[in-house]
Amino acid sequence: MAYVFLTITRYKLLLEDWRGYLIAGFSPVWIANQYMSLYGRLRLDIKRERVEIEEIQNKEQD
C-alpha cells in the first residue's frame, strides 16, 4: 500500500529515478524499526531497574 501511495504522489527520497521510490518505500520501515528497538531497550532498562529496586527492598525487609 505504501508503494501505491508513493507512486500516486510521485514522492522520491534523495534520488530522482526509481531508486528514489525504493529508498522512500523502505525509509518508514527503517524508522519504525529504530523506534521499536529504542522502545524495547527502554522497556528492558525499566524492568531491570524495577527488579533491582525490589531486591533492595527485600534485603531491607529481612
Q: Which pLDDT score, from 0 to 100, does residue 7 have?
A: 83
At residue 46, the pLDDT reads: 97
DSSP string, 2-53: HHHHHHHHT--SS-SSHHHHHHHHHHHHHHHHHHHHHHHHHHHHHHHHHHHH
Residue 56 predicted with pLDDT over 90: yes
Which has more pLDDT, 34 or 2?
34
Q: How many domains does the chain have?
A: 1
Residue 43 pLDDT: 98
What integer pLDDT is reported at residue 35 of this predicted model?
98
Tell me which residue range forms the domain holding 11.
Answer: 2-61
At residue 49, the pLDDT reads 97
pLDDT higher than 90, residue 62: no
